[in-house]
Structure 1
Amino acid sequence: MSELVILGMAVIGLIGFLWIIIKLFSQPKKVKKIKTKDSIPVWPYQTMPIMTDTEVLFFLKLKQALPEFYIFSQVQLSRIIEPNELAENDRNFWFNRICRQSLDYILVGEDLQTVLLAIELDDWTHDSVQRQNQDAKKSKALASAGIPIIRFHSEKMPSYELIRADVLKVLNDYPVN
């Protein structure tokens, strides 16, 4: 009889063990929700000035020197030029060449749509070879689109009169169609 009791207890133990195993594996697993960065309630941004102090001073000089023009600052290159039909199937390539570049200032015509001139205020950061290569690409893109560019140096902050004379000369030499 003791063998039967032991055998019965072993069978009951085995059944209990199998029942526990089945319960563990048959319960639906709790899916851990993975938060995407988009789903956080507040994104990690803060405001920042649109221009440096030097750029603000130069902007005020531009406004005083050229009151008859509309002047916009910090304009993305891709907002004023785009690949033309020569780009054919490479439009994305040519767009990507300019999409992360901006201009310090642009002069716009009375229609508020025609860009007359791009103006860059260069400081010491434009002395590096890498920055000079970026500036050359920017100049080439603008020239290809028929928009002249003029560069002033922040270390040699020009007078109102010099700004006006230089800008009007470029506008006279490169009239917009």
Structure 2
Amino acid sequence: MEWLILLALLALVVLVILTKQRGLTDEFSYEKNESLFSPAERSFFGVLSQAAEGQAVVFGKVRVADIICPSKGMGRSNWQKAFNRISSKHFDYVICSPETLSVLAAIELDDKSHSKGKRQDRDRFLESACSAAGLPLHRFKAAATYNISQVRGALFDPPDDASEEPSLPETPQAEVEERQVCPKCSAPLIKKVARKGEHEGAEFLACSAFPKCRYIAKSIA
């Protein structure tokens, strides 16, 4: 008789568990999105992939909190508040070093939604946060067509304006060329050609970790 009671109790427990599980699936319903990107974002992803070929790896829809984080030492309460401001946001794209996957820059594609007040507040906050973290943030306007060379230049070419060039270290030029590494971060130096400005056509050495490192050696032409 006792075994019948135990069997009935066991059946009752199983029934309760199954009912709860069914209730959970009934309460929440999900469906798969058709695409990770909107059509405009997918189009620009293809442009970015071509522009970054050989120099960076492109990732899309990356959580901001996976790229930057609140500074230490601000206290638990303030740290949590700062984290909450970035926890639900994401970058449209992030480019990383192909060798180490270290983050080189974040990229935002600005469509017409960025003209709205709340979106502009969000954009200003992201720019401020990235600036504080030392993370380059590039913005591109959504368009029907893009010039891949211009996109590549905006991401990877050092500025031609002398006023924007980083100060050069006191390392002798001969030593820099012999070492072929950046004296600031030890990344390989690569030869580049200025595409515009008064130095158009001149060859120079630049750090391959640009834009994370903006070291430029003197002209080698």
Same fold (TM over 0.5): yes
Taking structure 2 as the reference length, what is the TM-score of the superposition? 0.58
Task: Tell me how far 1:169 sits from its aligned partner.
Answer: 3.6
Task: Tell me how far 1:114 sits from its aligned partner.
Answer: 1.4
Correspondent of 1:96 among 84, 87, 109: 84
Map 1:1-177 → 2, pairs under 5 A:
39-41=23-25, 43-48=28-33, 49-68=35-54, 69-89=56-76, 90-155=78-143, 157-169=145-157, 172=210, 174-175=212-213
User: Does the CA-based 8 Å contact 2:63-2:90 persist in structure 1?
Assistant: yes
Task: Tell me how far 1:40 sits from its aligned partner.
Answer: 2.0
- Can you give the 5+ residue segments of structure 2 that lack an aligned partner in the other structure? 1-15, 159-208, 215-221
User: Which stretch shifts more, 154-163 or 132-141?
Assistant: 154-163
Return structure 1 stretches of 4+ with deviation > 3 angstroms: 35-39, 169-174
* 1:55 partner amino acid: E
The structure-2 alpha-carbon separation of the partners of 1:108 and 1:173, relative to structure 1 and needing over 3 Å to count, comes to closer
- Can you give the 5+ residue segments of structure 1 that lack an aligned partner in the other structure? 1-32
For 1:66 and 1:166, how far apart are their aligned partners in 2?
11
Q: Answer 1 or 2: which has greater helix percent.
A: 1
Q: Tell me how large the CA RMSD over aligned residues is.
A: 2.5
* 1:74 partner amino acid: K
* 1:54 partner amino acid: A
* 1:66 partner amino acid: A
Report how many aligned residue pairs link the two structures: 143
Could you give the per-residue CA deviations for residues 16-66 of structure 1, whole angstroms, max 9, x where no partner exists? xxxxxxxxxxxxxxxxx9x88994236311111210011111001111111
The structure-2 alpha-carbon separation of the partners of 1:109 and 1:38, relative to structure 1 and needing over 3 Å to count, comes to farther
User: Does the CA-based 8 Å contact 1:142-1:149 persist in structure 2?
Assistant: yes
For 1:173 and 1:107, how far apart are their aligned partners in 2?
10
User: Does the CA-based 8 Å contact 1:87-1:94 persist in structure 2?
Assistant: no
User: Does the CA-based 8 Å contact 1:118-1:150 persist in structure 2?
Assistant: yes
Task: Tell me how far 1:175 sits from its aligned partner.
Answer: 1.8
The structure-2 alpha-carbon separation of the partners of 1:36 and 1:175, relative to structure 1 and needing over 3 Å to count, comes to farther
Taking structure 1 as the reference length, what is the TM-score of the superposition? 0.72
The structure-2 alpha-carbon separation of the partners of 1:86 and 1:113, relative to structure 1 and needing over 3 Å to count, comes to farther
Task: Tell me how far 1:130 sits from its aligned partner.
Answer: 1.2
Task: Tell me how far 1:110 sits from its aligned partner.
Answer: 2.8
Q: Secondary structure at the match of 2:143?
A: helix
The structure-2 alpha-carbon separation of the partners of 1:47 and 1:147, relative to structure 1 and needing over 3 Å to count, comes to same
User: Does the CA-based 8 Å contact 2:136-2:211 persist in structure 1?
Assistant: no
* 1:80 partner amino acid: I
Q: Secondary structure at the match of 1:155?
A: coil
Name which one, 1 or 2, has greater alpha-carbon Rg. 1
Q: Secondary structure at the match of 2:119?
A: helix
